[in-house]
Chain A
Amino acid sequence: MVQTNMYEGMLAETVTIHGANHDVINAYFARPLGAGPFPGMVVIHHAPGWDEWYREATRKFAHYGYAAISPNLYCREGHGTPEDVGAKVRAAGGVPDVHVVGDIEGAMRYLRSLPYINGKVGVFGTCSGGRNAFFLACRVKGFDAAVECWGGRVVMPKEDLTPKQPVAPIDYTKDLSCPLLGIFGNEDKSPSPEQVNQHEAELKKHGKNYEFHRYDGAGHGFFYYDRPAYRQEQAVDGWKKIFAFLEKHLSK
């Protein structure tokens, strides 16, 4: 917690990391100044793109004492404004899961290579980034906590599977390797409350360590202060739940 008489500083910049297939991709990185040690956070952007909200979220984690990195999962699609690149990816039906896994694992390994990391790394994402936070915590070893905010398409009917997304993340639940925090709005359509029920039932079935918080009066994307979906009371409480969860699992 910040005190008014304490020193506070932050470094935030664009860096490059090795992602899937050892491709060089760019990433936004923010960390507190000082020797640390700091826990790490991989911050996975949402479907609309690697945008301003995600830079702010990355700095928010740094403000709370985390070395945080947000890899640009759309790096291979060319460069331009986040909206233009995001629209291109939207038209193409997203990016392949195999790249998502490699890029996020690369970001985690980047954090673990730094001399001031405390040995713990978490993963956070919203929307498709929430899906991917859960997905990566199942597919890759090396995360100590995962925060999934309204992860759409964790539950996928067979007809929604594509060559880019050939397996529904829920089918990897048995491989979840760290505690999971889920934040959902009860008025969301993707994921719907019924899909969140399925998600939770699968976690219970496999005896996983998880906690879900479901908010009435909130739909999809209720943290986004720049969209009409923003719900102040639920968003403030959701962020409190996130930082309490991360403190519990990543601080030591």
Chain B
Amino acid sequence: MCTMITHQAKINGSGKGKDGWFAVNQVNVSYDHPYHVPLEHALNIDFVNEAEGPGARVAVELTLESARNLVETIHAVLARAQAGGYGEESTKAEG
């Protein structure tokens, strides 16, 4: 990789890939060569489940401005959810 700027984090949720929904347990975030968006480098986010193979991946490739907007939007939604008393509830698995 030409920048090697990459971070990984454990997560818990579901993603919809080419074969339907699957459990995602890791997010890989990089600023490096994208595959599709017409940029030399992009903010790449892959939601994956490595135990299910390389194809268990939900990918997005964003411009830097879009990535910053995404981060701000997630923060805003999380803040509203927490203010509404949903913060604890959303971390529990549904029965």
Of A48, A79, A88, A227, which contacts B50 at CB under 8 A?
A88
The answer to whether A80 touches B55, judged by C-beta atoms less than 8 angstroms apart, is yes
What CA separation (Å) do A127 and B2 show in the bound complex? 7
The answer to whether A81 touches B55, judged by C-beta atoms less than 8 angstroms apart, is yes
The answer to whether A152 touches B6, judged by C-beta atoms less than 8 angstroms apart, is no
* B binding-site residues for A, Cβ under 8 Å: 1-4, 6, 8, 28, 30, 32-33, 35, 38-40, 44, 46, 48, 50, 53-55, 57, 59
Of B2, B38, B53, B57, which contacts A87 at CB under 8 A?
B57
What CA separation (Å) do A61 and B32 show in the bound complex? 28
The answer to whether B32 touches A90, judged by C-beta atoms less than 8 angstroms apart, is yes
A window 48-81: CB within 8 A of B: 48, 77-81
The answer to whether A87 touches B33, judged by C-beta atoms less than 8 angstroms apart, is no
The answer to whether B54 touches A84, judged by C-beta atoms less than 8 angstroms apart, is yes
User: With a CB–CB cut-off of 8 A, which chain B residues contact A89?
Assistant: 1
Q: Does A228 belong to the interface (CB within 8 Å)?
A: yes
Q: How many A-B residue pairs have CB under 8 A?
A: 73
User: Can you report 17 A-B residue pairs in the complex whose CB atoms are below 8 A from each other?
Assistant: A47-B1, A48-B35, A81-B54, A84-B55, A87-B54, A87-B59, A88-B48, A88-B57, A90-B32, A91-B30, A92-B6, A93-B4, A93-B6, A128-B1, A190-B2, A228-B39, A229-B40
Q: Does A240 belong to the interface (CB within 8 Å)?
A: no
User: With a CB–CB cut-off of 8 A, which chain B residues contact A140?
Assistant: none
The answer to whether A79 touches B8, judged by C-beta atoms less than 8 angstroms apart, is no
* A binding-site residues for B, Cβ under 8 Å: 47-48, 77-81, 83-94, 127-128, 152-153, 160, 162, 189-190, 219-221, 227-229
The answer to whether A84 touches B3, judged by C-beta atoms less than 8 angstroms apart, is no
Q: Given that A48-B33, A128-B2 are contacting pairs, would A219 and B48 also be in contact in the complex, using a CB cutoff of 8 Å?
A: no
Of A77, A78, A152, A162, which contacts B2 at CB under 8 A?
A152
User: Which of B2, B50, B55 lies at the interface centre, i.e. has the most chain A CB atoms within 10 A of its CB?
Assistant: B2
Of B35, B39, B40, which contacts A189 at CB under 8 A?
B40
What CA separation (Å) do A80 and B49 show in the bound complex? 14
Closest 3 CB pairs of A and B: A91-B28, A80-B54, A152-B2
What CA separation (Å) do A220 and B35 show in the bound complex? 14
The answer to whether A47 touches B33, judged by C-beta atoms less than 8 angstroms apart, is yes
The answer to whether A90 touches B1, judged by C-beta atoms less than 8 angstroms apart, is yes
Q: Which residue of B has the minimal Cβ distance to A164? A: B4
B34 to chain A, nearest CB (A): 9
User: With a CB–CB cut-off of 8 A, which chain A residues contact B1?
Assistant: 47, 89-90, 93-94, 128
What CA separation (Å) do A78 and B53 show in the bound complex? 7
13 additional A-B pairs beyond A47-B1, A91-B6, A127-B2, beta carbons within 8 Å, are A47-B32, A48-B35, A78-B53, A79-B54, A80-B55, A81-B54, A84-B54, A87-B46, A93-B1, A93-B6, A94-B1, A152-B2, A219-B40
